[in-house]
């Protein structure tokens, strides 16, 4: 059975699905969750506190999905994370906003307690690096490859498909060689540069 906190967060998401965040009222969220308004204020303090909790939960769920994707067979790790990233952003507008910084008028705006897009991308990249690291490859090189895979996935998120354009594939496995090739190409360009910072 969900805790009062989880019930309130779920209720806030239901309210957000029907109207812009600016018009969602705390009393409505409490009623949807079946708890008192005082319980809601005890949990989150303010509407801003509720918004922060919603966004932090969305970020945590995205990262938990990255961890699940990294249990895929070894050669498929970058592809599995790329696929999850696109799916998570498509299914949850909060995740899309967190990954891209593109906030529609319906969504709550993040405060400093919520990871910025570069921070969230870095957290996902670091999880990938921890799993795919190879003793024969420098950590920096592995990080470049992992971040490139994430950025390729984000291109599907940021630029929506138009009629006649290529869609995100139902299965990413057939395009694994293409993704690997793109990563290798990007990697060789980055490492030939005298600049040794993450892109």
- Assigned domain for 118 exists: yes
159-173: b (≥16 Cβ within 10 Å) or e: eeeeeeeeeeeeebe
- Assigned domain for 91 exists: yes
Measured over the CA atoms of residue 170, residue 152, residue 120 and residue 44, the dihedral's sign is negative
Higher pLDDT, 160 or 104: 104
How does residue 133 score in pLDDT terms, banded at 50, 70 and 90?
confident
What is the total count of domains within the chain?
1
What are 109's two structure tokens? 């705006």
> pLDDT digits over 8-59, tens only?
999 999 999 999 999 999 999 999 999 999 999 999 999 999 999 999 999 9
- Assigned domain for 14 exists: no
Q: State the chain's maximal CA–CA distance in angstroms.
A: 60
* Phi, psi of 99, rounded to the nearest 5 degrees: -80, -30
Which residue has tokens 């918004």? 51
- Assigned domain for 197 exists: no
Q: How far apart are CA 77 and CA 83, in angstroms?
A: 10
pLDDT given for residue 177 in this prediction: 56
> pLDDT digits over 65-101, tens only?
999 999 988 777 888 899 999 999 999 999 999 999 9
- Assigned domain for 88 exists: yes
CA dihedral 192, 195, 196, 199 (to 10 degrees): -100
Q: How far apart are CA 117 and CA 124, in angstroms?
A: 11
- Assigned domain for 95 exists: yes
pLDDT given for residue 140 in this prediction: 85
Q: How far apart are CA 91 and CA 27, in angstroms?
A: 27
Measured over the CA atoms of residue 26, residue 31, residue 32 and residue 35, the dihedral's sign is positive
- Assigned domain for 33 exists: no
Count how many residues are written for the chain. Answer: 199
- Assigned domain for 146 exists: yes
Domain span at residue 125 reads 70-192
């Amino acid at each position: 059975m969900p805790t009062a906190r989880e019930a309130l967060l779920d209720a806030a998401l239901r309210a957000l699905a029907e109207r812009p965040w600016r018009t969602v009222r705390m009393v409505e969220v409490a009623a949807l969750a079946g708890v008192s308004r005082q319980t809601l204020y005890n949990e989150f303090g303010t509407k801003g506190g509720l918004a922060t909790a919603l966004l932090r939960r969305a970020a945590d769920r995205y990262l938990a999905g990255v961890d699940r994707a990294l249990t895929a067979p070894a050669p498929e790790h970058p592809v599995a994370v790329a696929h999850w990233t696109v799916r998570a952003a498509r299914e949850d507008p909060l995740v899309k906003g967190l990954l891209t910084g593109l906030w529609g008028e319906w969504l709550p705006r993040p405060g400093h307690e919520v990871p910025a897009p570069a921070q969230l991308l870095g957290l996902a990249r670091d999880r990938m690096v921890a799993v795919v690291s190879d003793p024969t490859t420098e950590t920096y090189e592995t990080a470049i490859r992992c971040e490139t895979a994430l950025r390729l996935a984000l291109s599907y998120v940021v630029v929506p498909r138009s009629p006649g354009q290529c869609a995100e594939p139902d299965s990413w496995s057939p395009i694994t060689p293409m993704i690997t090739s793109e990563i290798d190409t990007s990697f060789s360009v980055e490492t030939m540069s005298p600049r040794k910072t993450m892109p």
